[in-house]
Every structure is written in structure tokens, then in C-alpha cells.
Structure 1
């Protein structure tokens, strides 16, 4: 039987995490809603001019029409509409000083791990297979990475993965901004190297 370590009594969730979850969740909802509307517009009119189609490389139309755009049998943005409310609710609950059980943080972290893994997979599918950088998808990348990193570090520092990883969490807490930036560099650096995005914009 697996025993989930108890959270350290002195562990406190910083307000910074709550703000990142609220802002990230709301922006993720915005991007998901916009992509859903674009998907509907394309269903009504396959030749519709989408506001996110900046040029042949920076556009979302190709992503929506690709098989990667409906991995689970329905448009990916619907998944965003279903899941992005979760961090918003958790963020507001934290501001209200709600306390969650250790199992809740584990489940929430697992959801974030799925989200960030899916984001990196979609990003590289878009860049290397479809040959585009989707603007609204990029917004999802931008908000998902810091939410995942901050939730994971918070849980490590709370001792939910044992004392050894608690010390690791304490050690990397000050590096969170750089870890997030590294995630951005991996995605958008790859986009620039593969698609030469800047040359298509200027």
C-alpha cells in the first residue's frame, strides 16, 4: 500500500503561486475559447480568414485542420475549456487561505504534468511536422510551463515527496524563473531555428 507523505505543517503556499494559477488559467481559457471559435468558423467555412493566421508560418488554421489538433477524437481546445478552470479555482481558494490535503496536491500536480507534457508534444508536432507556430497555442505554452514548475516546486518544498526531494525543492526554489525561461527557450528557440519565425514577421 502506497503511503502519501504528510505535508509539513509549516509549509505555506505563497500568493505568487495563486496569482500565477489564476492568471495562467484565465489566459489558457481565453486561448482555448479563441481556438474553439476558430474551429467552429472553419467548420462553417473552410476558407474563413482567421485572425490568428498572420502568415504561412505563424497561423493556427493548419494546426486546427491537422490530426494533432484532435488527438483524443475532439478538438484539443475543448480539453482546455474543460481543464483550465481548475487552476483558476485553486488559485482563488489559496488566496482565501484554503488548505488542501496531500492527495489533492498529488492529483493536481499529476494533471499539471500531463498538461506540460502535452504542451511540449504539441509544440514540437507543430514546429517539426506541421511547420507552424500557432499564436493561441503559444499562449497556452506560455502559461502552462510556469504553472507546472511552480506547483511542482511547491509540492517538493512541502515535503510531499520525502525529505530528500524537499531539500531539492528548497534548493531550486530561487531558480524557478530560469527554469521557466529554459522551457520557453526550448520551444520558441526550436521554432526560430526550424521556421525562422522572426524573418516571417519583419
Structure 2
């Protein structure tokens, strides 16, 4: 039988996974449509191009926008299905084995690391802020925090009782942790790109 950690039905987390997955998927879908539009007419701008600073085209047409040989939004179209399915399964009463949680966390770790890299490329290399990309950043960061803390609090990760208690307490602080993360990105973007003066 699969090992069953504590917190077998983290319903609030499940609801968040569904919401985040749906938002992330919609952002990926929108970016995919924009990429198709640019492929059909390279001279046309994307509908999310608002200024030289706030735009999607530069990101989509750069090599960073197809780092694995295909448009990055395709990763989102496939990857964001996983949180939706996991969240729905939890709400339906499913319990997952330890190995499943580790695989799910590894997927979220990849997404988190990839988003951090994309943020750095947008700010320091491309000098743009892609609206739909930022939507992806906004949902990826707290989702990674939530899944990580769940592994720690539930006993999936081999940690002691004190760490599990701290992780359980921190779960309620995820919104603040996310806002602080956004603030760090915003400050870096402001210092590097002078966003307030070049927004439009």
C-alpha cells in the first residue's frame, strides 16, 4: 500500500492548485495564440504589446521564448494541466503515494526555476515585461511554495516534527511570501528598467 502522509486532504491547497492551474493554462493558451499570430504575420504586433517595455512580441520571438526548440507556452499548455488534475483528485478524496508527491514537486521545482530564469532574461537581457508571462510568474511562485511546504508538513519529506510544525505554520503565510517575492521582482525591474517612467 502507498504511504499516506498526514494532511491527506489539504482542501485549501487543492482549490489553489485548480485556480493556479487554470490561470496558468489560460496565460499559456493566450501566449500560444499570440505566437501563432506572429508566425502568420511577422510584421504585426501582438495584442499584448502596449509599449517598448510592456510587450509580448520581443519575448515570444527571442531564443529565450523557444529555449527547448519550441515555443515556451507549449510547456504551460501541458504542464498546468497537472496542478488542475492533482487539485481535483484531492477534492475527490484521492491520496497519493510519496513517490507521486516527489515527482509533482520536481515538476514544480522545474517550473519555479524556469520562471526565475525567464524573469532574469526579461529584465536583464530583453528589457521587457511580458504581460502574460507575468501572469505565469504570479501563479508559479506561490504554487511552488505551497507544494514545498505541503511536502514538509505532511511527512513526505524526511524531516523532524519541528520542521513539520514550522512548515504547517508557514502555509498560512504563503500569500505574504508571494507578495514579498513579487516585491523583489518589482524592485529589480524598477532599478534595471525604470518601469515607472517607461511604462507607456
One fold, TM greater than 0.5?
Answer: yes
Q: 1:67: which partner in 2?
A: 63
Question: For residues 85-110 of structure 1, what are the alpha-carbon distances to aligned partners after superposition, in whole Å with 9 as ceiling and x for unaligned?
Answer: 11011111111111111110110011
Q: 2:197: which partner in 1?
A: 199
CA contact (8 A) 1:13 1:154 kept: no
State the 1:177 CA deviation: 2.0
Q: 1:114: which partner in 2?
A: 110
Deviates more, 1:140-149 or 1:154-163: 154-163
List runs of 5+ in structure 2 lacking aligned partners: none
Q: 2:47: which partner in 1?
A: 51
Residue from 155, 158, 162 that aligns with 1:159: 155
List runs of 5+ in structure 1 lacking aligned partners: none
1:38 aligns with 2:62: no
Residue from 120, 123, 128 that aligns with 1:127: 123
Partner of 2:70, secondary structure, is: coil
Q: 1:189: which partner in 2?
A: 187
State the 1:39 CA deviation: 0.9
CA distance in 2, matches of 1:200, 1:112: 33
State the 1:80 CA deviation: 0.7
Partner of 2:148, secondary structure, is: helix
Partner of 1:163, secondary structure, is: coil
State the 1:171 CA deviation: 4.4
CA contact (8 A) 2:3 2:98 kept: yes
CA contact (8 A) 2:46 2:57 kept: yes
Question: What RMSD in Å do the two structures reach over aligned CA positions?
Answer: 1.7
Q: 1:86: which partner in 2?
A: 82
State the 1:61 CA deviation: 0.4
CA distance in 1, matches of 2:151, 2:130: 32
CA distance in 1, matches of 2:28, 2:175: 25
